[in-house]
Amino acid sequence: MARILDIFLNRKTNLSCEKYPNHGSLFTGLRHEEADAIRCLSARVSGSIFNIGKSYHLHDDDVEELICDCITICLQKIKEGKYTFQGYNPATFVIEIAKNRAQNFRRSALKHRTVGLENISERAEEPDFGSLAETELLEKLLSQLEANCQNLIRLKYLEERSDKEVIEEKLTQYTTVDALKNHRSKCLKKLVGIGADASIFNQ
């Protein structure tokens, strides 16, 4: 963790990412624990993990810790041979870890109120490799929608938040479940229209 923090404090993100033009080269850099590869990965996941942390009401310090922890876990999985390159973006892998970690943190916090990120089981954080392709596809398609639609679909299908929870925590502009569902349905139709596989939403 100390080495990861030291690397973050000496960020040269733009130059770092230029060295890794594709998923395979970035994974190779991470396997060799190259500082530039770690900086590049951090730059590519920080925005998404910040949004995940915000949706789970984590403090900024906790989000920074979450980013460091998830990248550290990723590097450890690569080192142990538990995460091998399968063509997916390493950033997608890390974001899935962050989502699972935040979900477990929130569940534990609701039960104990004083739990810290370090107390969350690592086993529960491991992403489902089979879902990475769908997650990556969905993220690419979401980027083609307006911000409101991105938020509605991400909350439901990536962060797995219930409609009641979204309304109660005021995570969108909608104040009723019916209005939320109605607008999300329209967004899904737009998403399908730009090439999404509709089966990903049959949950």
Q: How many helices (H) does the chain have, and how many strands (E)?
A: 10, 0
**pLDDT at residue number 6:** 47
Domains along the chain with CATH numbers: 1-127 (no CATH), 129-203 (1.10.10)
pTM score: 0.58
> In angstroms, rounded to a whole number, what is the distance separating the alpha carbons of residues 63 and 66?
5
**pLDDT at residue number 23:** 92
Helix axis angle, 35-55 relative to 60-80, nearest 10°? 130
Q: What is the pLDDT along the chain (203 residues), one digit of tens a residue?
A: 445 444 444 445 556 788 898 999 999 999 998 988 988 898 889 888 988 888 888 888 788 888 888 998 999 999 999 999 988 899 999 998 998 888 777 666 555 444 444 444 444 445 554 456 666 667 777 888 898 998 888 888 777 788 888 898 888 999 999 999 999 888 888 877 765 344 444 44
Buried b (16+ CB within 10 A) or exposed e, 158-172: bbebebeebbeeebb
**pLDDT at residue number 180:** 92
Q: Which of 51, 4, 12 is nearest to 151 (CA)?
A: 51
**pLDDT at residue number 15:** 63
